[in-house]
Amino acid sequence: MGGNLVAGAGVILELDVGNTRGKWRYLVEGEVIARGDIETGQLRQQVLPEGWADLTPYRFRVVNVAGPVVAEFLSQVARDLFTLEAEFSAVAPQCAGVICGYEDHSALGVDRWLAMLAAYQQSPRASLIVDCGSAVTLDLLDNSGRHIGGYIVPGFGLMNRVLSVDTHAAKSREALALTKTLGAGRNTNEAINRGLLLMVLGAVDRAMEELQVHSGSLPLLWLTGGDAQLLSAVYQHEHRLVPDLVMDGLALSNP
């Protein structure tokens, strides 16, 4: 990256750490001027993301679902490298017009919470927020911002690995790739990869139907997460693909 990037009160480093990957962005007065990603396993091994030595943030906001080992490393990095305290996001009973639907709000994944906050802030209406990562999560918000609840299903990579491990013939030699067709596969790779997309689309359609009945209006579908583009390519109705939706929520949970 070369050379120290601008510093000041409006300079914020944001980091979203998932179960398998993390991504970060560096903002100056709300504008992203640098970004990158890193394997979560590298953070567990105390490897810094490339380019961080050049950063001089005024604040460091973090959403972490990778556990306490990663959290402790990031806290130490904030103190030693940036002379800051890391600001970890947490789920609250309500925030930014959204009311958590879990009986125990602390049991909800903070990444799911932030995605809901950001979606409702950008468009305050009934919404289905789908985060396609190691797991695929589907969260339902009504028109008033109340979280009705959600669903969790295995992610594309996890489902593919399970098929490869537990079956002899059903092994895909190719990673799931962008496609615009869900026609029946003419070989095993197509049959598996299109079948995985079909399963998740079925969950999305069912959740959309449930939310429409509950809210009395057509919900807006939001897609985010590392595999969201795969789903977006085959979903044939209106939706919003927002890769940084979780990090967008940090400004609301940690203003």
- Residues serving a catalytic function are 111
How many Cβ atoms are within 10 Å of 190's Cβ, its own excluded?
A: 17
Three-state DSSP class for 247? helix
Sign of CA dihedral 168, 173, 178, 179: negative
Residue type, 100: C
Q: Phi and psi dihedrals of 135, rounded to 5?
A: -115, 160
- Beta partners for residue 209, in sequence order: none
Neighbours of 133 (CB within 10 A): 22
Alpha helix ranges (H) inside the chain: 40-44, 68-82, 110-122, 156-166, 188-215, 228-234, 245-248, 250-253
Q: Of 98, 112, 122, whose CA–CA distance to 224 is shortest?
A: 112
